[in-house]
Amino acid sequence: MPLKFELGEAFQFDWSEEGMVIGGIYHRMQVSHMKLCASRAFWLVAYPSQGHEMLFDAHTRSFCALGGVARRGIYDNMKTAVDKVKKGKGRTVNARFAVNRYSVPCELAGQRVSTRLYPSRVEIATDEGIVASHARLSDRGHICYDWQHYIALIQRKPGALRNGAPFADMPAPLLRLRQGLMRHDGGDKTMAQVLNCVSSHGLEAVLVAVELVIESGALSTEHVLNVLARLNAAPVPESVQSSLPLGELPVANTGRYDSLRHGNTADVNHEAASLLELNHAS
């Protein structure tokens, strides 16, 4: 039956699976389709998988691109949106999520947190705010670590640095420093102390300091702290000359010394006072 719609009356939404080559690698992508029933204008968005957060994001992007929201939507019993089709127009909402694990700071172990899922990232929050943010994993059964979440733990158990899975993803300078320190007794404790500087000095400053220490060949916590102190030291102010300026420049007058030879007491006193003023001024 041919159908006719008013402008802005309805839109249709569905998914399709398409193949894409990205960086020379073939991927199966889930593509959302939204089409306005009257004008037939449409918008497509590609995602790594289907899920509630993908569904909501696709609607948001499509509505923005098409310039508004139609009065009603038409869906074809998508598995993303419903689990079960009931009699009439009844539907059971789907509540499936991909099963992956994401790290949080170790001091939050055993505490309740909330997870915010977005198409490209996962945020984990407590009552105080966001405590972790990760790039979202598209497959199932994986673990995403942030090695900085475990810095407090290795202060108590530095031996975990040798084979700890999260620390395999540290920046290259830190990996080189760990490799050099682990050759010596107590190297794990030294490495733990260096990593502890990240919270107080910032990651970028620590990376610069570590690179300079590696170049010098003297691998120690004290050396790293010394470099950090020099990097964070306030600049030395330029030297300032503080000599007093003269309000009136002195005039050379050798004739006043003649009055001293002639014994003129008044002139002598006057000349002495003038010399005293001159000495104070200079």
pLDDT of residue 49: 82
- Condensed to tens digits (0 to 9), the pLDDT of residues 136-183 reads 887 788 999 999 999 999 999 998 888 889 999 999 999 999 998 888
pLDDT of residue 163: 85
Which residue would you say has higher pLDDT here, 262 or 134?
134
H helices of the chain, in order, are 52-66, 151-156, 172-181, 187-201, 203-216, 221-232, 258-261, 265-281
Mean pLDDT of 83-94: 56
Find how far residue 18's CA is from the centre of its chain. Answer: 34
Task: Please provide residue 235's backbone torsions phi and psi, each rounded to the nearest 5 degrees.
Answer: -65, 145
pLDDT value at 95 more than 50: no
- To 10 degrees, the CA torsion angle through 77, 80, 86, 89? -50
Which residue would you say has higher pLDDT here, 22 or 60?
60
Say if CB 106 and CB 150 are below 8 A apart: yes
Q: Which of 78-87, 165-174, 271-280 has the lowest mean pLDDT?
A: 271-280
pTM of the shown model: 0.57
Identify the CA nearest to 114 among candidates 100, 127, 101: 127
Q: Which of 2-6, 12-16, 20-24, 119-123 has the lowest mean pLDDT?
A: 2-6
Which residue would you say has higher pLDDT here, 222 or 265?
222
pLDDT of residue 221: 81
Question: Three-class SS of residue 254?
Answer: helix
pLDDT of residue 258: 72
11 has which bridge partners? Answer: 36, 73
